[in-house]
Structure formats: structure tokens, C-alpha cells
Amino acid sequence: MSSRQFHAGNAWFADGWRRDVCFEVDSGRYYPGALLEVQPEVQAQGAEALGRWIVPGMPNLHSHAFQRAMAGLAERRGDPADSFWTWREVMYAFAGKLGPDDLRAIATQLYVEMLKAGYTQVCEFHYLHQQADGKAYADPAAMSLALVEAAQEAGIGLTLLPTLYMSGGFDGRPLGERQRRFAHDVDGYLRLLERLRLLENAHLRIGVALHSLRAVPEDAMHAVLSGINGMPQSPSSAPGSMMPIHIHIAEQIGEVQDCLAARNARPIEWLLDHAPVDARWCLVHATHINESELGRLAATRATVGLCPTTEANLGDGVFPLKNWLDAEGSIGIGSDSHISVSPIEELRWLEYAQRLLTRHRNISASEAEPSTGAVLYGSALHGGANASGVPIGSFIGGDPELPSVGNRADLLVLDETSPLLAGRDASNLIDTWIFAGNSNLVRDVMVNGDWVVRDFRHRDEARIAARYRAVIARLHA
């Protein structure tokens, strides 16, 4: 099969914009949808014109898809001391109602919204494994497969992170009644991983998630980390053998205090002392990190998963972004509870929280890269790709003559006709998009060489939304 050629007026690379970029996309030689050659400053004859401003698609490194269907339903005061923990009770009540078909319908709708907003890969931190009473489904992978099907139907890349959840707190107490459907023992968990891994392909990567130090006893953590060594992988999986490892680490002060009481160490400190943390790891909500933890963690090359809109919504706290970037730490963004589904809003709030705290501006920018938006977008692409375990996040082509392949062809075409972008050039385009782009500027979206969004519309959005509405009407009836 022959390859396809595309031409971008300007395409964004890690070190800035290039003009007249020609993309050659594989139609089957290595894996369909891989970038072959990517060449700046050429006018390819017969190439399909993409548009004026082309950027890599953004990975969403943290999602609990089902929570999208309760967005807005926990914003009424219940208890005068409303907190993360009271929100969690509302969330548990909702989670208890969902079966595989509901989860599939909700996740598919969410993934369509993600694509339209510019996310082309999602890491699904998935812990609704069993039936509500704690018994396994006839197929123990039923809920995981619902997410795999949802991603396939929507056309988004998925890093599925089946999540180990064993105890209800640091003291090892058993799961509460509403947590029973999260349960696994280590063997059952590894069997699920093994089965799912055989499904891997260019769109699907399987990784590991430990829900939190609260939920995973130390011996279980070690058993899983050694159990994944040498686990077989599907031959049709995208290149790169990295199996990402995600964990919720230090979101709430209460969690830091409980960890100190039970383990005599702060959560990040404890993890660094007891686990082989390296570039495979993604520490989600590293919110409560001190200076010494920060220096040690940055040196491991692990990524921190930041979810600014959810962290704000739940009253978590503010991650010390400036110090982390100064230490060359890796970041990515996630929409987590999906109170907002927009990479732009996540990145904007990442910076704004720092401005409000420090009373300065352009905190994330540096001497080497003075554009705040470019630092934010570029960092989140890089760390997000790492946490996803998939070759995405930048336009890297493979040499057709060598047995290596390029990154997946995931790209966004921005709406060059928007008045907002009038008079903008390469020096301020990303800044304008991130800080002022309140109406969506993502016009077309390509994932793995396929158009999934064209002219602001997803290829199957009407049908997917109709099914979502029907499921929600029943759940809230």
C-alpha cells in the first residue's frame, strides 16, 4: 500500500514552528498511521493541504471516564464542611449504578468531546471492575472491555490502566461497601492485565495503576511490579515496550498526614524509598510535595500528572510548578473528573494558579523559551506521551529504509479563520490559543492517520450523543 502525503503551512515542533512541512503517513508498511518522513520547507506536489497552523494532539494522562456523567452534580452545599471526602461519597453513589453498557455509552461520549477539544490519547485510570455487590462479571474484563470499545468507537488512542484497589486506608482496613466493586487480589489483577495486553495495537496500550498508597498494601505493590516483568505483549502493539505505571500520590493534606502516621514518611518520600520509580512512572496529583521530595522525584525522570481543573474543583491545593520546571521535571495534564474537558483550560489554570500565588506573570516561561504557552503545551505533550507509553506528542518521522518507525500521526488543525488569530504569527500563536481561546479553535483532528473530527464535527457524534442521552435519562430517573 502506498503512503499518503499531507502539507502543513506551519507545524509545531518541540523547538518551535517550521514552515511548509510535508508529512508522509504510512498506509501499512510498518504500522498504518505511523509518520514516515516529516520534512520542513518543501512544497510536495499532490499532498493534501492540512491548513495553516498544525500542532501535535495532546495526551490526556488521567481520566475516570464515568465521572463525566456526574459533572455539575456535586456543586451544591450538602455539609457545611464539604470537602474532597464528601464529594467522594457522591461519586461512589453514582459509580454504584453503572454497568458495562452505561460505562461504554458515557466513555464514548466523553472521548468524542476530548477529541473535539484536542486530546488524541487518554489514559484511563480504571477501577470499576466488579459488579456493585463485589462479584465478578461473567467476563471479569467486562468493564475494561467497555472502555476499550468506547475508545475504538470514538477513534481516540487509549492507554488503559486497570487499577489495583485492595484496602480502604493506610491501616489496611477492608474496602467499604461502596468500594467492593473496585476489588482485586494480586493474581486476579495480573490475569486481567495479561489478558488485556494481548489486545494491544497502535491505538491501545495497557499499563498499570496502583490506586493510591491508601489502597495498595506494600507487599501487593511489590508483587505487581515484579509480576509485570516479562509479561507477553501483542505483536501488533505500537513500537516501544514501555508499560507505564500510574499512581494517585499526594492529593490531599489528610492523605499526607495519614501516611506520616502509618508509615512515618510523606507519600512521595515513601514511594521513592520503596519503589523503583523511573521514567515509566506517572505520579498523579503530586500536589503536596516538599523541596526534598521535589529534587529526588525530578531526578527519576518520572512524570507528574497535573489535573488543574479537578484539583481546583476538589479543593486539593497547588503544585509548585515553577520549582518543578526549574528542576527539569516532567509534567502532563489530565482532565480526571471531567468537570472540564479542555487541554486549553488545564494549561491556562496551571499557569494562573501560580500567578495568583506568586503575584508574578509568565511563571512557566524561561530564558530559553519566553512563550508561556509554548512551554506549557510542549511540556505537557512530552510528559503526556511518556505517561501514555505511546510514540506520540511530537512530529517525528521514521526513515522508511530503516526498521525504526516514526511517531503516530496525531495532529490538530487550528481554525486559521478565527478572528482571534488575526495578525498572530509564530511567536504568539500558541499563547493566544491557550490564554484567549475560549471558543474552540480545534477545527480538524487526526488520530493515527485517520480524520476523526472534520470542521469541528466528530464523524459519529450524533449517534453517540443520542445513546449517551438515553443512558443518562435512565440513570437519573
Report the nearest approach of ligand NGQ to the CB of residue 280 (Å): 21
Report the nearest approach of ligand NGQ to the CB of residue 476 (Å): 20
Report the nearest approach of ligand NGQ to the CB of residue 70 (Å): 11
Contact indicator for 268, 283 with CB cutoff of 8 Å? yes
| Contact residue for ligand NGQ among 60, 63, 287, 310 (CB under 6 A) | 310
Our CB check for ligand NGQ shows the closer of 336 and 345 to be 336
Cell numbers at 65, concatenated: 471516564
Annotated catalytic residue 338: no
63 contributes a contact to ligand NGQ by CB under 6 A: no
| Contact residue for ligand NGQ among 200, 251, 351, 410 (CB under 6 A) | 251
| Contact residue for ligand NGQ among 7, 64, 116, 338 (CB under 6 A) | 64
Beta strands in 279-397 (DSSP E): 281-284, 303-306, 330-333
Task: Give 219: exposed, middle or buried? Use CB within 10 Å, 0-12, 13-18, 19+.
Answer: exposed
Helix H or strand E encompassing 347: helix 343-358
Our CB check for ligand NGQ shows the closer of 8 and 307 to be 307
Report the nearest approach of ligand NGQ to the CB of residue 88 (Å): 5
Whole-angstrom distance between the N-terminal and C-terminal Cα of the chain? 51
**Which 316-355 positions form the footprint of ligand NGQ (CB under 6 A)?**
336-337
Our CB check for ligand NGQ shows the closer of 108 and 167 to be 167
Our CB check for ligand NGQ shows the closer of 267 and 391 to be 267
Enumerate residues 6+ apart whose C-beta is below 8 A from 175: 165, 166, 167, 168, 182, 183
Length of the chain: 477
Our CB check for ligand NGQ shows the closer of 268 and 405 to be 268
Catalytic residue among 336, 410, 415, 431: 336
293 contributes a contact to ligand NGQ by CB under 6 A: no
Helix H or strand E encompassing 10: strand 4-13
Annotated catalytic residue 360: no
124 contributes a contact to ligand NGQ by CB under 6 A: no
- In the shown chain, the binding pattern of residues 14 to 53 toward ligand NGQ, with x for contact by CB under 6 A and - for none, equals ----------------------------------------
As beta bridge partners, residue 63 has 124, 336
| Contact residue for ligand NGQ among 18, 197, 203, 248 (CB under 6 A) | 248
Report the nearest approach of ligand NGQ to the CB of residue 251 (Å): 5
Helix H or strand E encompassing 458: strand 457-458
Nearest to 406 by CA among 242, 241, 239, 279: 239
**Which 200-219 positions form the footprint of ligand NGQ (CB under 6 A)?**
212
Q: Annotate 309-342 with three-state secondary structure.
A: HHHHHCCCCCCCHHHHHHCCCEEEECCECCCCCC
Q: Give me the half-sphere count of Cα atoms (radius 13 Å) on the Cβ side of residue 354.
A: 21
Our CB check for ligand NGQ shows the closer of 153 and 251 to be 251
Which phi and psi angles does 163 have, rounded to 5°? -110, 130
180 contributes a contact to ligand NGQ by CB under 6 A: no
Residues of the shown chain interacting with ligand NGQ in the complex, contacts defined by CB under 6 A = 64, 88, 212, 248, 251, 310, 314, 336-337
Question: Which residues are part of the catalytic machinery?
Answer: 285, 336
